[in-house]
Amino acid sequence: MTVSTMLSLLSEGFVTSLLIFALTLLFSMPLGLAVMFGRRSRLTPLRGFIKAYISIMRGTPLMLQLMVVFYGPKLLLGVTVPGNWRFTAVIVAFVINYAAYFAEIYRGGIESIPRGQYEAAQVLGYTKAQTFFKIILPQMVKRVIPAVTNEVITLVKDTSLASVIGTVEMFTRAKQIVASPNTPGMLALVAAGVFYYVFNYVVAFAMEKWEQVLRYYR
């Protein structure tokens, strides 16, 4: 196998990894906000349910959650899943896992804002919705960016866990290349490592620029 062929195969796997990454962020970040509201709800049953959900998501391995989401419908409910369920299961597992982490990050950001901010908004005649979206949310976003950045970088590396249910992403492709005959030794794994590093560097750079844009909130 030539180096160009190897890089082409890795690029195909990278596209899958990138898709997992993008779809997870697209759905888990807003879902995390909804979960955070449930976590802070005055309704005791809802708050208890959300706390249990967060505890389970953070207390069990993502690899196990992937397997439960993928095999669960068939083994637990007897439901025949469609042919494209493998990739869908990856996205579902990643989204519900990362939404729990984002929810706690958001909650920490919200609860770090002084109570006086709410009282001042009330004096100025703001509604609760206006207070949240115009005053609290912008400050919360600025405060949670470092923690969110760490989670996003972790997500880049966690995409490799999709291989546990047979999804061929970049790391799986690298292992396949190494295992096949006439391959350039460990070069495929080294190349995959470079892919991951560059990807993470770009993510960290973008998040840092975003943080700089929001510095006017200081």
- Return the number of other C-beta atoms located less than 10 Å from residue 158's C-beta: 20
- What are the domain boundaries of the chain? 3-217
Taking 90 as the threshold, does the pLDDT of residue 58 lie above it? yes
Q: What is the mean pLDDT of the chain?
A: 86
Q: What is the rounded distance in angstroms from the CA atom of residue 115 to the CA atom of residue 72?
A: 44
Distance of CA 8 to the CA centre of its chain: 26
- Return the number of other C-beta atoms located less than 10 Å from residue 206's C-beta: 12
Look up the pTM and report it.
0.88
The CATH number given to 3-217 is 1.10.3720.10
Q: What is the rounded distance in angstroms from the CA atom of residue 213 to the CA atom of residue 199?
A: 21
pLDDT digits (tens, 9 = 90+) for 143-158: 888 899 899 999 999 9
pLDDT band for 120, please (50, 70, 90 cuts). confident
What local confidence, expressed as pLDDT, does residue 31 receive?
95
pLDDT digits (tens, 9 = 90+) for 12-53: 888 999 999 999 999 999 999 999 999 988 899 999 999 999
Cβ atoms of residues 91 and 20 within 8 Å? yes
Q: What is the rounded distance in angstroms from the CA atom of residue 207 to the CA atom of residue 218?
A: 17
